[in-house]
């Protein structure tokens, strides 16, 4: 059974949410608890979630990945993109409105559904090439 709270999120002067947690012991704002700011609080906070339809789980980490280069279908030669360095962290946006794409990176085949974004750290045998099939429009970013 889903639960929710009527407690108001804390915001800054511009109305944007600030880092906070729900204190379930303080029932001032709602029966479920009261949001409190994380200022001075040593707890680590991570955004997590999942997409059940795609069977994908997401955990944000505190990595310092920076986009190094970005290639599209226009850069492919016979379905293969060649980056300037090995691909360790990648994002893929399959822009094709109807076709899933298969992106083979470091020997691992990753299927990205039509009009879907994917991002991950990639294992396998490190390589600087990505082979693409099944999709007509995509953007791939390499991070380091």
pTM for this predicted structure: 0.59
Burial 20-52 (b: 16+ CB within 10 A, else e): bebeeeeeebeeebbbeeeeeeeeeeeeeeeee
| Mean pLDDT across the chain | 80
Of residues 120 and 80, more confidently modeled: 80
Structural domains in the chain, sorted by start: 1-44 (no CATH), 67-143 (2.60.120)
Out of 6-10, 42-46, 77-81, 101-105, pick the least confident.
42-46
Residue 45: left (phi > 0), alpha (psi -120 to 50), or beta? beta
Stretch 70-97: mean pLDDT: 94
- 100 contacts 114 by C-beta, under 8 angstroms: yes
* Structure tokens belonging to residue 142: 């390499």
Residue 21 has pLDDT above 60, yes or no: yes
The mean pLDDT of 60-87, rounded to a whole number, is 88
Tell me which of 39 and 96 has the higher pLDDT. 96
């Amino acid at each position: 059974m889903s639960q929710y709270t009527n407690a108001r999120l804390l915001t800054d002067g511009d109305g944007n949410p600030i880092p906070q947690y729900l204190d379930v012991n303080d029932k001032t704002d709602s029966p479920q608890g009261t949001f409190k700011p994380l200022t001075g609080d040593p707890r680590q906070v991570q955004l997590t979630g999942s997409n059940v339809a795609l069977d994908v789980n997401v955990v944000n980490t505190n990595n310092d990945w920076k986009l190094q280069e970005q290639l599209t279908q226009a850069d492919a030669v016979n379905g293969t993109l060649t980056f300037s360095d090995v691909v360790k962290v990648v994002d893929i946006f399959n822009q094709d409105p109807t076709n899933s794409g298969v992106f083979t990176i470091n020997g691992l085949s990753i299927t990205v559904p039509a009009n879907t974004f994917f991002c991950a750290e990639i294992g396998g045998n490190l390589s600087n090439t990505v082979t693409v099939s099944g999709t007509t429009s995509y953007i791939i970013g390499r991070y380091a």
